[in-house]
Amino acid sequence: MLKTIIRKEIQNNIFSFRFLASLAMLLVIVTVTAFILTNDYLKKIDEFSQRQTEIENYMKSYAHFNRVQNVVRPSLPPLPFLSLIRGISSDVNIDEFDDDPLPVMFPLIDLVFIVTILMSLVALIFAYDSVSGEREDGTLKLMLAGDVSRAGIILGKIIGGVLTLLVPFVFSLAVGLLFIILQPRVAWTGADWASLGLIVVGVFLYIALFYGLGVLISARHRSSASSIMTSLFVWVLLVLVVPNLSPYIASFISSTPSRIKVDRETARITDTERDDLGSRLQKERLQELAKKYPVLAENIPESEVKDRLAADPVFREAWQARRREVQLAWDEANRIQNEKAGKIWRELGRREAAQTEISLYISMISPLSDFTYLATDLSSTGIRNQAHFGQVSSLFWQAYADYSRQKIAALQKRDPSTDWWNTPVDMSDMPRFRYQEEALGGRVKAALPPVGALLGWFVLLFAGAYFSFIRYDVR
Amino acid sequence: MTRTIVGKEVLANLLSYKFHIVLLLTVVLLLTSFFIMHRDFQNRLADYQVIRPKPGEPIALVPPNPLSILAKGLDEAMGRSFEVGVTGITVRAGQKTGNLIFSFFPAPDFLYVVRVVLSLVALLFGFDQVSREKEDGTLRLMLANNVSRAKILWGKWLGNFLSLAVPFGLVSVLGIAFLALDPGARFSGEQAARIGLILIVTFLYAAFFLSLGILVSTVTRRAASSLVILLFIWALVVFVIPNLGTLLARQAVDVPSVKALSEKRQQVWTREVLLSIEEGRRAGAQEAGRGGWAGHVATINEDIDRLEEDYRVKFDRLVRLSKNINRLSPAASFVYAVTDLAGTGISEELNLKGEVIRYKDSIIHQMISSMALETRAKEYPAFGYRPRSLGSIFAGGALFDAAWLVFFNILFFALSYFAFVRYDVR
């Protein structure tokens, strides 16, 4: 019997206007998006390799140790997944004078957008009248008159509905992937395909969840006209409002000091305040020293110091001790003040991390954010990859520091009189930055909490739909 | 007769479930948005007070714009501090928080609520205007009276527009009035006029979606299919076209990436540092190196200026093209018009950058020569920025965008009129 209901649902849907409309829409949008993003990715690769060549050529003429670390700075290569998912690696670059404001005005479209906004809307459009509509048509009464349990009907409806929903998505995704497969320069690895597979599982969960939501709302309304209104209301809240509000709400709950204020404060601590402390420490130490070397208490004009140093060995010793003490005083001041500033920065970092975590949790109320985190982390275009890139870069900097130390030592051994720091050197043997994507295992682990949240929603909504339908007045 | 129809529509709306749910949604959203964006503005204002340049400092910094509470747009990018040094402009205080979640989702300002939610609500008011009355059979009864089809359509349009615009307008005005109580955000007379214009554009935008809804409702037989079509069109107009248009424009215009530009800048710098050290070594004296360094700094400036000039010309072309592609969607026209009026749009940002560059050009020679002479010029003229006037905003595209919205309105209303005149009411 369950099979019959599923078949009936599928047939009902497939011949419906909304099925054709959503198939046509998705086919066009997914294909166009995949096409444009793939081209964009190819352009990015070309640009990236051109930039790398430029750096290599540059290093042939101007490689030296003083400032060249600014030229060989690691940069993230375009990842093959960019031909489907853009993530947060978008190109705003607010730290540069010539930033790119276009993505701020209109966030760019990608697979995540298509799934989170369009597919959830399509799912609700399919589900809103699944119970209330059949009641209005009178077919629900007829169905229940047959030998079939309510549980069977609701289960059949949900399975049939989700299956039909998947058809337009999978079909249009397949067409979009054709571009990627047919384009020989987009080299997807096995891990890329595996993570795409996992993302598709996420899509399945996401769609099923919204379908369940639609059925639940439908089973709580008498007329389908009002169930679509409620569905859209809930959809707007979950998809368009909660994620956008979450970081702002988190900043109310756990505020962080402004970076600008901290920047000013720490600059003051390591500058004027350090100078005050340094002078005070110097004065104290010199007073102490003056007891040992009374000669220092004499007020000698600066012009005479040089002669006196040459003539008077006692004075020379005292003067050297004085210089040592001054150095110690300022080292001490620098250490104390840097520690103080470092503490403030660490505290800021801690509080920012706490706020990020709270925003993350609040936003995870919305299935949209769950799916976004899942997809961007799996495809290495999200927060996690930024941290990963930071780690890989710091490994490179370590290797670079080792290399430059050894190289300078070797050069100095050969020719101690040259200032190797500021002389062009052949650095063709220096370590190169190679970006390695994080292994799939780590990414999957990162995607587990959002998957858990999606599953939780899924179970909750299905249970809700089931219990609402059991008590539904079918007349 | 029109009055009767308008009255009937308003009454029918007031009593409907749809109206209540929509009212709840818009009120909650608008008030939350005003509250949150106001807090955000206050935080930025406090930051501005901290980094405000002292007299004589060569720093270009504009205060946050109170209208960014309504349309944040690029205000954050415009509020960065641009510090002029001998080697050009350094941007400071760019990223104001380490909370990465902000970069995932757009800011929930008034602009966002209108663009996304009000448009959807307007569609929900329009989608069943004709087909539902046909299904109920009331359309036939209405037409049996002495009333023209044109009047019925107009009455329906107006009645629904009023039941949408009046509550929305009231809540918005109330929210804005509350904002005006804050002394930090006190709006000047000119800004109040801008807010008025923003509200007018908002109503034009909502009216477009209402007309679209009525049009689709007159060409479909059933309200359910009308809704499906409308939701798809809505998604296309509000999300897909404007977001895809920018990407499309990028395919056509070759703009170097920001990263490439900053790498080139570092290369020029590093090269000149090395060359100047070598020169100094050859000359053998520190003094010769000093004077020479000023020459190298001038070279760095020239090279970087050339690079950036080239970038900006291309970027302007990209902005123009992407704007024109995006204008296929009234939602993009709406965003451009509102952000331009609020002074947080792309044109305003480009204008500000142009002014910052002009400021840099006016003091950089003095800086370099005083560096060469090892004297420190302490006082530089302050940077002053006057946001574009309403006249130049209109001339720069806002008038076109508003007219474009009016055109869409007339077009879709006319289309629905023609469709309704031929409508089979049985």
pLDDT tens digits, one per residue of B249-278? 988 888 888 888 888 888 888 888 888 888
Of A17, A88, A423, the CB nearest to B228: A17
Closest Cα of chain A to B222: distance in Å?
11
B123: nearest Cα among B180, B161, B174, B170: B161
At A375 the pLDDT is 94
B81-85 and B88-92: which strand pairing?
A: antiparallel
Which pTM does this prediction carry? 0.89
B377 in a domain, yes or no? Answer: yes
B227 and A228: CB-CB below 8 Å?
A: yes
Of B117, B246, B256, the CB nearest to A240: B117
Across the range A122-134, mean pLDDT stands at 90
Domain ranges within chain A, ordered by starting residue: 2-254+364-470, 259-358
Q: Percent of chain B at pLDDT above 90?
A: 41
B100 and A383: CB-CB below 8 Å?
A: yes
B168: nearest Cα among B35, B37, B22, B313: B22
- Residue identified by tokens 């947080």 is B344
B232 and A25: CB-CB below 8 Å?
A: yes
CB-CB contact of A289 with A296 (8 Å): yes
Of A47, A224, A241, the CB nearest to B260: A47
At A91 the pLDDT is 60
A178-233 pLDDT, tens digit per residue, is 988 888 888 888 889 999 999 999 999 999 999 999 999 999 999 888 898 899 99
> Does A27 reach chain B within 8 Å, measured CB to CB?
no
3-state secondary structure of B90: strand
Q: How many whole angstroms from its chain centre is CA B289?
A: 50
B225 and A107: CB-CB below 8 Å?
A: no
Chain A residues in contact with B43 by the CB 8 A cut-off are 258
Question: CA torsion A94→A98→A99→A101, rounded to 10°?
Answer: 130
B344: nearest Cα among B23, B92, B64: B64
Provide the number of structural domains found in chain B.
1
Task: Kindly state the helix (H) or strand (E) to which residue A5 belongs, with its residue range.
Answer: helix A2-14
A61: nearest Cα among A400, A422, A426: A426
Give the largest Cα separation in chain B, rounded: 104
What's the Cα-to-Cα distance from A401 to each of A66, A398, A427, A431, A433, rounded to whole Å?
Answer: 12, 5, 13, 10, 13
Q: How far apart are CA B378 and CA B383, in angstroms?
A: 15
Closest Cα of chain A to B217: distance in Å?
15
Burial of A365 (0-12, 13-18, 19+ CB in 10 A): middle
Q: How far apart are CA B238 and CA A101, in angstroms?
A: 19
Nearest-Cα residue of chain A relative to residue B22? A233
CB-CB contact of B349 with B407 (8 Å): no
Of B25, B322, B346, the CB nearest to A233: B25
> Is pLDDT at A87 greater than 70 in this prediction?
yes
Chain A residues in contact with B332 by the CB 8 A cut-off are 106
A105 and B74: CB-CB below 8 Å?
A: yes
Helices (H) and strands (E) in chain B, counts: 17, 3
pLDDT confidence of B93, banded at 50, 70, 90? low
> How is residue B85 annotated by DSSP?
E
B93 and A247: CB-CB below 8 Å?
A: no
A394-434 pLDDT, tens digit per residue, is 999 999 999 999 988 888 888 877 778 788 888 888 888 98
* CB within 8 Å of chain B, chain A residues 88-117: 88, 90-109, 113, 117
Nearest-Cα residue of chain A relative to residue B332? A106
Mean of pLDDT over chain A:
88
Most confident by average pLDDT, A97-101, A251-255, A456-460: A456-460
Chain B residues in contact with A241 by the CB 8 A cut-off are 29, 108
CB-CB contact of B422 with B348 (8 Å): no
Nearest-Cα residue of chain B relative to residue A54? B264
> Does A33 reach chain B within 8 Å, measured CB to CB?
yes
> Is pLDDT at B150 greater than 60 in this prediction?
yes
> How is residue A295 annotated by DSSP?
G
The domain containing residue B220 runs over which residues?
2-421
pLDDT confidence of A319, banded at 50, 70, 90? confident
At B285 the pLDDT is 52
Q: How far apart are CA A324 and CA A307, in angstroms?
A: 20
Nearest-Cα residue of chain B relative to residue A376? B104
B426 in a domain, yes or no? Answer: no
- What the block records as the tokens of B106 is 């757009």
B163 in a domain, yes or no? Answer: yes
> Is pLDDT at B363 greater than 90 in this prediction?
no
At B85 the pLDDT is 83
A107 and B224: CB-CB below 8 Å?
A: no
For chain B, the residue count is: 426
At B376 the pLDDT is 62
At B254 the pLDDT is 87
CB-CB contact of B123 with B211 (8 Å): no
Across the range A153-164, mean pLDDT stands at 91
At B83 the pLDDT is 87
Q: How far apart are CA A411 and CA A425, in angstroms?
A: 9
CB-CB contact of A395 with A436 (8 Å): no
* CB within 8 Å of chain B, chain A residues 203-262: 224-226, 228-230, 232-233, 236-237, 240-241, 243-252, 256, 258-261
A225: nearest Cα among B53, B19, B57, B215: B19
Chain A residues in contact with B91 by the CB 8 A cut-off are 95-97
Amino acid letter at A269?
A: I
Q: How many whole angstroms from its chain centre is CA B244?
A: 17
Give the largest Cα separation in chain A, rounded: 120
Task: State the best of B26, B34, B49, B232 to mutate against chain A, taking most chain A CBs within 10 Å.
Answer: B232
